[in-house]
C-alpha cells in the first residue's frame, strides 16, 4: 500500500469499497478512483489506443489522457470515464478498456511490434488492394480495434434535468484567482455565479502547500467559501463543467453530469488555471511517469505516495516546489534533474512499470516514479470558443489569450499569472478590485521550455491516447503537413478524448522545430466546445421518448378516446384517424364504413387542428387581396370563399377557406401543418411589406374548437341541436356563415364541405369543445351519426378531387392543381410575377388528374411514378407521380390523384403506375379527378 499514514484531504473514518477489473479494494471518502488505485499500488490502468502499450495514471485532473475506465454495468455503464476526476463511492465497479483478454496480458499489444509500419497516416498508403477486401476485411478489423469504451446497447436509464442561470459575473474556476474574484465581486454586491469542475473549491491550493496571511492556504479557502456561501447574491456550483462559451454572453455547463445549465452572464472571468506539460523523451509513457503536479497532488491532497523511489525532471521552479512539498511530508525524492542546469533524462526504462531512468551524463538511476515538470499551459480554451486566437508569449513560454472576446477576461494562471500572489491579485483586479491582496508565501514561477530531449532513443510520446510520437510529427512535416491543422489531422494528435490538453503545445513545438518556424509562426488549434466531454443524454435532458416533442390535443380528444379512436400524428397534434368498431376486420373496413355512413347519413369529424387567423381592420380585405390569388374584397359579409396563397416564387404555399364576418373582419383558415408559417406570412405582409395598411392579425387556432358535420342528414342533426337557428338554404346558403350563440357562448356555423356532401362546420371557443362534441353526438344518435377520422376525411376529399398536403408539396403551381383560373388578372398578389416564369406555365408540367386501376381488384399506392404504356422505366420517360390514393367505397375500387405531364389532355388514356420499390407496375386509366358528384349537386342541398 502506498497510502501515507497521515495527511490528505480524505476522511479516513469513511472507508469505501470498490472494484477494478473484478478485484476488490478499499479507499476513503475524498479519494478519486485514481488516487485510490495508486494507494492500492495499482499502476497499470489502461492500454493505449493504437499500440496497446501499458499505460498508467499520468495526471491528477481532467486533462488525463490515459486512465479511462468503464464504470457501472449494463445499461448504466459509462465508458471512457476519467479515473482522475471520478470521486470514489462505495460500491464503485470499474473496469479497464480496450484490452483482451486482460489488462495485464493484452494480445493486441502485438501492434507494438508492427509499430514501424503503424506510423502516422499509414492507413492512407495501404489497405487498397485488393479493392474488395477494404470493406470485407480491413475496415471491419480496423473498426473493431478502434474506440476505447463500449456503449451498452440499452436505453440510457439516467434522468437528466436543466436549469437557467442569470448573473452579472460568471467566474469559471474556484482556484485562488477565481475565489478571490468571486469574493471581491460578491462583496461589491454583484450577482455572482462561481462554477468549478472539482468536487470542492480550492483548485491547486488543495494540492500544494502555501501560506496565505500567515496561515495554511486551506484556511483561506475555507474562510472564503464560508463568506461566499453567506452572501445571498453569490452561488457556487461545484462538480460543474463549464463546457462552452456561446454568443451573447451565453454559456453551457453541466452540473454533476446530470443537470444542464444555460447561463447568461453580463461578464465572465475565466480563472481556469493552467495545465502542466509532460516532457518528450523515450519511455515517457511508462506507468510511473507522471506530471509533477500530479505527484504533488496525490501526495498532498490524497495522502498517497505514488511510488517509493521518486525522481523529478523539471524545467520549472514548480518542479522544485514539488520536491519541497514532498520532503515536507517525509518523501525525499531520489534525485531532482533540472533541465535548466543542463541535466536531462534521456530515457525511461520499464515495461508495465517504471524501473529506471537514464540521464544525459550516462548515469542510470533506479526509480519507480518520475515526475515531469515541463512548464504550464494556461487553459485559454474557453476564451477561444468565439474565435479569438491565443498568441505565443516568449516571456512565459506558453500561449496566452491577450485579446479575449468582449465580456470575457482571463485571470490567474489562465492569464499567465502563475505565482500564488500574482494569481490572487489578478483575480481581484479582474473583478474590479476593491479588496486587498493578502500576503502569500513565496511561489516562484520561472521556467524555460524544453520541447524535446535530444538523442533520446525509443518512443517519445506527444499525444498519449492516440500513440502519437515525436517521430510521427517529424514524419508529418516531411510529408508536407506543415501547418498545425494538417499535422493534427494527419497524425491525429489532439483528437483524443483529452483534445490535446497535454499534447497539443508539445506537438506544435516539435512541428515548429521540424519546419524551421517560431512558435508564433506555427500557431495553434482553436479550442471548440465542449471543453470536457459532455454526455448526449444531459444535452437532450428530458426531451426523449414520449417527451421528445409536445403533444397537442384538441378539445374533442377525450371524447374521441372514449369512443375508440386510433390516433395519428399530424405535426405535434394527435388526430383521430378512425374509430374502429368491434368485429371490424381492419382499418380499411372501418374507414369504408365511416365514408359510407357520412355519404348516406351523417358523420362528424374534428377539424380543430386547422390553422385559424383573425384578420381585422379597415384594410383587412386589401391585405387578403394581396395574399390570395383570388379576390376577397368582393366577398359579401356572411360568406366564405376558398382561397389559394402562393409563395413569392410563384409556387403554391397553402389553401383554406376565409370567411367575412364584417366589413373589416375576416376569419382565415390554413392547413394544419402550415398554421404557424401562414401566421408569420400574414404578419410579415402587414408589418414589413405594407405597414401603411391598417390591419391586425391574431392567431386563433387554439381558441376555437371546430367540427365538420357532413352528409344528407347533417342539416337534420343541426336542426335538433340548434332549433332556434334558421338553417334553410335561404338563411344559410352553400358557402354561407353566421355567428350566433349556443348555450350562452359565441358560436359560428359555416356551410362548407370538404367531403362533397351537404355539410356544415360548427365552431365554439375551445374550452366548450368537449361539451359541443358530446351534444352533437347526442343530437345525432337517432339519426345514426358516426364519427369519422382523418382517413375517411382523406377518402372523401380524394373522391372529390380536392388537392391537399400531398399535392401542396411546395413543388406545384396553381395551374398544376387545376386552379389556374383562380389567378386574378385584376390585381397584384404575392407570387404573381414568378408564377409566370416559363417553366411554371409550361403545359407539359405534371398536372392534376384522377386515376383508377384498369383491373378494379388492384390496389394503388402513392409514390409510384407514371409511364406511358410501353415506355421503358427510365428517368427520361418519367411523366409524373401518384400523390394520393384511397379505396373508394362509393365506387368500389381504389382511386388516386396524380400529377401527370399534360394531364388534362389525357383523360381516357391508359398509362402505367411504376412502383418497383413496392408493388411493381399497375395499369391505370386517366380520368377527371372529381370522381364523385362532379356537378357538385349534393353540397347545395
Min dist. Cβ of residue 294 to other proteins (A): 22
Quote the CA–CA distance of 139 and 126 in Å, as a whole number: 12
Residue 901 beta carbon to other proteins: minimum distance, rounded to whole angstroms = 12
d(CA 53, CA 351): 9
How many whole angstroms separate alpha carbon 889 and alpha carbon 593?
8
β-pair partners for 3: 304
Task: Please provide the size of the chain in residues.
Answer: 941
DSSP state of 415: G
Comparing CA positions, the residue from 674, 891, 656 lying closest to residue 754 is: 656
CB of 794 to other proteins, least distance (A): 10
Residue 697, strand partner residues: 615
Closer residue to other proteins (CB): 126 or 230 = 126
Q: Return the number of the residue (208 or 467) whose C-beta is nearest other proteins.
A: 467
Nearer to other proteins, 302 or 579 (CB): 579
Report how far apart the first and last C-alpha atoms of the chain are (Å, whole number). 96
- Encode 906-928: b = buried (16+ Cβ within 10 Å), e = exposed: beebebbbbbeeeeeebebbbbe
Q: Give which of 608, 604, 637 is closest to 620, Cα–Cα.
A: 637
User: CA-CA distance, 594 to 890, in Å (whole number)?
Assistant: 11
Closer Cβ to other proteins, 243 or 931, answer by number? 243
Residue from 675, 700, 704 nearest 763 by CA: 704
Nearer to other proteins, 436 or 545 (CB): 545
Of 748 and 865, the one with the shorter C-beta distance to other proteins is: 865
Nearer to other proteins (CB atom), residue 325 or residue 498:
498
CB atoms within 10 A of CB 393: 15
Q: How far is the CB of 530 from other proteins (least distance, A)?
A: 6
The string over 640-667, giving b where at least 16 C-beta atoms fall within 10 Å of a residue's C-beta and e elsewhere, is bbbbbbbeeebbbbbbbbbbbbeebebb
**Contact yes or no for 369/306 (Cβ under 8 A):** yes
Query: Whole-number minimum distance, CB 798 to other proteins, in Å?
Result: 13
Q: Helix, strand or coil for residue 370?
A: strand
The rounded distance, in Å, linking the Cα atoms of 565 and 558 is 10
Q: Check if the beta carbon of residue 92 is closer than 8 Å to that of residue 71.
A: yes
DSSP letters for 54-94: EE----SSTT-SS-EEEES-GGG-EEEEETTT-B--TTEEE
Cβ–Cβ under 8 Å, residues 476 and 487? yes
Q: Judged by CB, which is closer to other proteins: 190, or 385?
A: 385
Nearer CB in complex with other proteins: 203/846: 846
Q: C-beta of 260: minimal distance to other proteins in Å?
A: 8
Q: C-beta of 504: minimal distance to other proteins in Å?
A: 13
744: left (phi over 0), alpha (psi -120 to 50) or beta: left
CB closer to other proteins, 363 vs 478: 478
Closer CB to other proteins, 148 or 269, in the complex: 148
C-alpha cell at position 866: 407514371
Which lies closer to other proteins via its Cβ, residue 105 or residue 143?
143
Cβ at position 774, least distance to other proteins in Å: 29
C-alpha cell at 265: 452572464
Query: Which of residues 540 and 558 has its CB atom nearest to other proteins in the complex?
Result: 540
CB of residue 839 to other proteins, shortest distance in Å = 3
Task: Please state the closest distance from residue 805 (CB atom) to other proteins, in A.
Answer: 7
Half-sphere exposure of 617 (CA within 13 A, CB side): 16
Task: Identify the CA nearest to 520 among candidates 651, 328, 391, 671.
Answer: 391
Min dist CB 584 to other proteins, Å, is 19
Cβ closest to other proteins, residue 2 vs residue 554: 554
Dist. CA 419–CA 318, nearest whole Å: 9
Taking the complex as a whole, the smallest distance from the CB of residue 697 to other proteins amounts, in Å, to 9
**Residue 464 phi, psi (nearest 5):** -65, -45
**Among 331, 326, 362, CA closest to 347:** 362
Question: In angstroms, what is the minimal distance from the CB of 406 to other proteins?
Answer: 8
Nearer to other proteins by C-beta: 783 or 862? 862
790's CB contacts (< 8 A; 6+ apart) are 568, 570, 575, 576, 577, 578, 605
Residue 71, C-alpha cell as written in the block: 464504470
Least distance from other proteins to the Cβ atom of residue 111, Å = 14
Q: What is the closest distance, in whole angstroms, from the C-beta atom of residue 49 to other proteins in the complex?
A: 7
Residue 793 Cβ vs other proteins, minimum distance, rounded to whole Å: 14
**How many whole angstroms separate alpha carbon 675 and alpha carbon 613?**
9
Question: How far apart are the C-alpha atoms of 755 and 198, rounded to whole Å?
Answer: 66
Phi and psi based region of residue 248 (left: phi greater than 0; alpha: psi -120 to 50; beta: remaining): left
Shortest Å distance, C-beta 916 to other proteins: 5
Q: How far is the C-alpha of 674 from the C-alpha of 653, rounded, in Å?
A: 8
d(CA 752, CA 709): 9
Beta-ladder partners of 16: 27
Of the pair 293, 465, the CB lying nearest other proteins is at 465
Give the residue with the Cβ less far from other proteins, 29 or 901: 901
- Least Å distance, CB 484 to other proteins, is 9
Q: 200 vs 262, which CB is nearer to other proteins?
A: 262
CA distances (Å), 588 to each of 803, 858, 888, 893, in order?
Answer: 22, 15, 10, 12
Residue tagged 499551459 (cell numbers): 377
Report d(CA 395, CA 106) in Å as an integer. 45
Amino acid at each position: 500500500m502506498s497510502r501515507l499514514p497521515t495527511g490528505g484531504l480524505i476522511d479516513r473514518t469513511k472507508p469505501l469499497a470498490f472494484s477494478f477489473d473484478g478485484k476488490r479494494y478499499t479507499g476513503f471518502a475524498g479519494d478519486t478512483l485514481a488516487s485510490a488505485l495508486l494507494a492500492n499500488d495499482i499502476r497499470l490502468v489502461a492500454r493505449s489506443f493504437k499500440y496497446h502499450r501499458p499505460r498508467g495514471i499520468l495526471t491528477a485532473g481532467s486533462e488525463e489522457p490515459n486512465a479511462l475506465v468503464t464504470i457501472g454495468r449494463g445499461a448504466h455503464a459509462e465508458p471512457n470515464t476519467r479515473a482522475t476526476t471520478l470521486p470514489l463511492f462505495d460500491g464503485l465497479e470499474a473496469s479497464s478498456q480496450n484490452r483482451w483478454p486482460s489488462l495485464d496480458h493484452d494480445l493486441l499489444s502485438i501492434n507494438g511490434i508492427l509499430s514501424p509500419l503503424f506510423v502516422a497516416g499509414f492507413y492512407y498508403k495501404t489497405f487498397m488492394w485488393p479493392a474488395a477486401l477494404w470493406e470485407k476485411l480491413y475496415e471491419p478489423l480496423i473498426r473493431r480495434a478502434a474506440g476505447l469504451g463500449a456503449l451498452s446497447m440499452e436505453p440510457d436509464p439516467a434522468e437528466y434535468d436543466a436549469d437557467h442561470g442569470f448573473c452579472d459575473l460568471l467566474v469559471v474556476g474556484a482556484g485562488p484567482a477565481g475565489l478571490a474574484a468571486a469574493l471581491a465581486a460578491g462583496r461589491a454586491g454583484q450577482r455572482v455565479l462561481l462554477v468549478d469542475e472539482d468536487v470542492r473549491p480550492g483548485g491547486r491550493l488543495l494540492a500544494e502547500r502555501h501560506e496565505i496571511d500567515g496561515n495554511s492556504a486551506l484556511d483561506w479557502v475555507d474562510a472564503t467559501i464560508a463568506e461566499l456561501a453567506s452572501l445571498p447574491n453569490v452561488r457556487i456550483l461545484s462538480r460543474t463543467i463549464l463546457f462552452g462559451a456561446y454568443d451573447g454572453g451565453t454559456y453551457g455547463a453541466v452540473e454533476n453530469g446530470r443537470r444542464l445549465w444555460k447561463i447568461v452572464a453580463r461578464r465572465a472571468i475565466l480563472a481556469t488555471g493552467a495545465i502542466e506539460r509532460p516532457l518528450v523523451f523515450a519511455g515517457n509513457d511508462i506507468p510511473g511517469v507522471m506530471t509533477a503536479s500530479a505527484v504533488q497532488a496525490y501526495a498532498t491532497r490524497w495522502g498517497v505516495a505514488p511510488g517509493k523511489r521518486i525522481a523529478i525532471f523539471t524545467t520549472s521552479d514548480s518542479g522544485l516546489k514539488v520536491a519541497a512539498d514532498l520532503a515536507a511530508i517525509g518523501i525525499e525524492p531520489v534525485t531532482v534533474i533540472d533541465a535548466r542546469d543542463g541535466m536531462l533524462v534521456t530515457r525511461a526504462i520499464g515495461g508495465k512499470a517504471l524501473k529506471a531512468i537514464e540521464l544525459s551524463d550516462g548515469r542510470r538511476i533506479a526509480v519507480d516514479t518520475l515526475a515531469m515538470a515541463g512548464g504550464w499551459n494556461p487553459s485559454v480554451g474557453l476564451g477561444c470558443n468565439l474565435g479569438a486566437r491565443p498568441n505565443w508569449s516568449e516571456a512565459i513560454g506558453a500561449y496566452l489569450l491577450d485579446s479575449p472576446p468582449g465580456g470575457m477576461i482571463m485571470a490567474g494562471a489562465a492569464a499567465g499569472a502563475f505565482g500564488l500572489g500574482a494569481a490572487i491579485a489578478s483575480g481581484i483586479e479582474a473583478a474590479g478590485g476593491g479588496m486587498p491582496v493578502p500576503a502569500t508565501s513565496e511561489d516562484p514561477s520561472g521556467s524555460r521550455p524544453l520541447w524535446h530531449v535530444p538523442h533520446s532513443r525509443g518512443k517519445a510520446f506527444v499525444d498519449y491516447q492516440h500513440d502519437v510520437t515525436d517521430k510521427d510529427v517529424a514524419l508529418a512535416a516531411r510529408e508536407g503537413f506543415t501547418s498545425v491543422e494538417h499535422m493534427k489531422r494527419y497524425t491525429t494528435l489532439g483528437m483524443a478524448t483529452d483534445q490535446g490538453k497535454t499534447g497539443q503545445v508539445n506537438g506544435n513545438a516539435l512541428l515548429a522545430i521540424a519546419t524551421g518556424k517560431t512558435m508564433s509562426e506555427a500557431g495553434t488549434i482553436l479550442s471548440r466546445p465542449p471543453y470536457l466531454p459532455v454526455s448526449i443524454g444531459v444535452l437532450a435532458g428530458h426531451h426523449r421518448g414520449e417527451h421528445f416533442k409536445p403533444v397537442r390535443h384538441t378539445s374533442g380528444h377525450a371524447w374521441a378516446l372514449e369512443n375508440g379512436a386510433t390516433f395519428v400524428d399530424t405535426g405535434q397534434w394527435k388526430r383521430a384517424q378512425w374509430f374502429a368498431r368491434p368485429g371490424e376486420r381492419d382499418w380499411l373496413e372501418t374507414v369504408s364504413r365511416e365514408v359510407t355512413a357520412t355519404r348516406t347519413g351523417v358523420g362528424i369529424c374534428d377539424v380543430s387542428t386547422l390553422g385559424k387567423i383573425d384578420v381585422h381592420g379597415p384594410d383587412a380585405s386589401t391585405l387578403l387581396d394581396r395574399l390570395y390569388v383570388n379576390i376577397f374584397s368582393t366577398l359579401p359579409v356572411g360568406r366564405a370563399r376558398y382561397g389559394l396563397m402562393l409563395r413569392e416564387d410563384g409556387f403554391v404555399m397553402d389553401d383554406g377557406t376565409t370567411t367575412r364576418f364584417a366589413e373589416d373582419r375576416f376569419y382565415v383558415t390554413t392547413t394544419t401543418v402550415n398554421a404557424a408559417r401562414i401566421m408569420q406570412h400574414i404578419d410579415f405582409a402587414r408589418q414589413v411589406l405594407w405597414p401603411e395598411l391598417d390591419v391586425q392579425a391574431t392567431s386563433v387556432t387554439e381558441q376555437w374548437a371546430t367540427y365538420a358535420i357532413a352528409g344528407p342528414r347533417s342539416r337534420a342533426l343541426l336542426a335538433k341541436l340548434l332549433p332556434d337557428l334558421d338553417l334553410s338554404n335561404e338563411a344559410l346558403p352553400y358557402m354561407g356563415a353566421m355567428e350566433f350563440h349556443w348555450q350562452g357562448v359565441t358560436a359560428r356555423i359555416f356551410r362548407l364541405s370538404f367531403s362533397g356532401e351537404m355539410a356544415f362546420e360548427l365552431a365554439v371557443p375551445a374550452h366548450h369543445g368537449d361539451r359541443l362534441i358530446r351534444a352533437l353526438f347526442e343530437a345525432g344518435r337517432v339519426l345514426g351519426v358516426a364519427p369519422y377520422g382523418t382517413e375517411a376525411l382523406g377518402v372523401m376529399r380524394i373522391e372529390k378531387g380536392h388537392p391537399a398536403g400531398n399535392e401542396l408539396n411546395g413543388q406545384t403551381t396553381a395551374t398544376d392543381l387545376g386552379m389556374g383560373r383562380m389567378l386574378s388578372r385584376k390585381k397584384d398578389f404575392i407570387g404573381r410575377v414568378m408564377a409566370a416564369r416559363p417553366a411554371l406555365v409550361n403545359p407539359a408540367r405534371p398536372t392534376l388528374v384522377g386515376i383508377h386501376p384498369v383491373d378494379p381488384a388492384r390496389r394503388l399506392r402513392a409514390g409510384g411514378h407514371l409511364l406511358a404504356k410501353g415506355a421503358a422505366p427510365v428517368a427520361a420517360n418519367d411523366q409524373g407521380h401518384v400523390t394520393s390514393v384511397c379505396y373508394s367505397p362509393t365506387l368500389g375500387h381504389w382511386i388516386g390523384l396524380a400529377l401527370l405531364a399534360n394531364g388534362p389532355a389525357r383523360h381516357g388514356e391508359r398509362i402505367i403506375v411504376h412502383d418497383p420499390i413496392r408493388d411493381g407496375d399497375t395499369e391505370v386509366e386517366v380520368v377527371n379527378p372529381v370522381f364523385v358528384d362532379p356537378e357538385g349537386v349534393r353540397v347545395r342541398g
